[in-house]
Amino acid sequence: MTTKSQREDTLNQDVQIFVIGNWNTKVLFKDLLIRDTEKSQMESLAIEWIKKFNFKHQNLMTKEFSVPSNIIRFDYVLNKDGLINVFEIEDRPAGFEINALTIPKVFAQFLNSLQSYSAYTQKPIGVCVSPGRMFNSDDFFWVQRLRDFVDCKIVFGQVPKNPESHIWFIRSLRSETEYYQLSPYSLSTIQYEGDKSYGVRMGLWQRIDSLGVDNLSWDKPFVVKPDAGCRCENVHMYHPKKPSGGFSTRTKILNAINNNEVDYVQDYYEPENPDFLPDGYAMIRRCYLVYDIKSKSYKVIGGQWEARPKCHKIHGASDAICGPLVL
């Protein structure tokens, strides 16, 4: 049996660094297999998610297929019974550049889905990256790869002219209201990107104002989160026995509630610590599903696992390590 220090040494030797703009992304090429039960759970939950999603604004996908987005992502862990505990279902996920670099099959399936929508609509593909996402995400980098694989129009930093001539994969911020006009031609959400109200209807979390602040259970761990957002912004985890490691204090959470920074409370799910990582690493799984026109359903294509040392708030931080999550 290897010791903790031996696993640390092996990890440091095996990790590769990929430079994406200003970010150094650490990758361990250790495949984590998606089990059949895991796959079927996600695909079944995706059906329920479609029914519970708040269709506030129509886009191309809602008009043609009655779904919110061409690609979605489950962030989750497996519990001791092998069932998935869902953190989020992202309606317009990021992370495509690291997919292209480390899991080409996943990136290729995403591109194939774009081509299938193009064939269905008889319109060419367009991809637009707004000023707000040009250099604070991976969009600028993976979009430039597209020309090597598909025939498409690429627009950086401005609203495309004559958008009705293409189908569009739009990468913009919710605050960039000038992009809302592209919704009729968009393969995903724009104005209501990141809306988390589906979780209440799916029973994944509760509204804090419905539960009541006085009814928060401070004797057990929980998570509070905003009505919309990404990258763990304004997400706070509380644990009565873990004052550090990414957890917030009771005072900080109450301040977030009083300042209207958070809207929902969710059960806390312990991250995984697989055998191939040293003790103290906390890991989650991030799996993409694309909408398949033929089967009229979302299909699992794979994704990444992601882990951080001594921190349970897991996102693409500088100390994070990721690897392939494969079928």
Which band of pLDDT confidence, cut at 50, 70 and 90, is reported for residue 185? very high
Is 19 within a domain? no
Is 25 within a domain? no
> Same domain, yes or no, for 37 and 138?
yes
Which band of pLDDT confidence, cut at 50, 70 and 90, is reported for residue 242? confident
> Same domain, yes or no, for 137 and 114?
yes
Which band of pLDDT confidence, cut at 50, 70 and 90, is reported for residue 2? low
> Same domain, yes or no, for 114 and 148?
yes
> Same domain, yes or no, for 62 and 170?
yes
Residue 306 in contact with residue 314, Cβ under 8 Å? yes
Which band of pLDDT confidence, cut at 50, 70 and 90, is reported for residue 158? very high
Is 275 within a domain? no
Is 11 within a domain? no
Residue 37 in contact with residue 94, Cβ under 8 Å? no
Is 27 within a domain? no
With residue 282 as reference, give the H or E element that holds it: strand 281-292
For the residues 279-303, what does the mean pLDDT come to?
96
Residue (of 96, 56, 51) closest to 180 by Cα position: 56
What total of structural domains would you count in the chain? Answer: 2
d(CA 54, CA 36): 29
207: exposed, middle or buried (Cβ count in 10 Å: 0-12, 13-18, 19+): middle
> Same domain, yes or no, for 101 and 189?
yes
Give this prediction's pTM: 0.94
Is 276 within a domain? no
d(CA 107, CA 104): 5
d(CA 167, CA 236): 37
Is 240 within a domain? yes
Which band of pLDDT confidence, cut at 50, 70 and 90, is reported for residue 277? very high
For the residues 110-127, what does the mean pLDDT come to?
96
Residues spanned by the domain of 245: 198-267
Q: What is the pLDDT of residues 21-32, one digit of tens each?
A: 888 999 999 999
Residue 83 in contact with residue 41, Cβ under 8 Å? yes
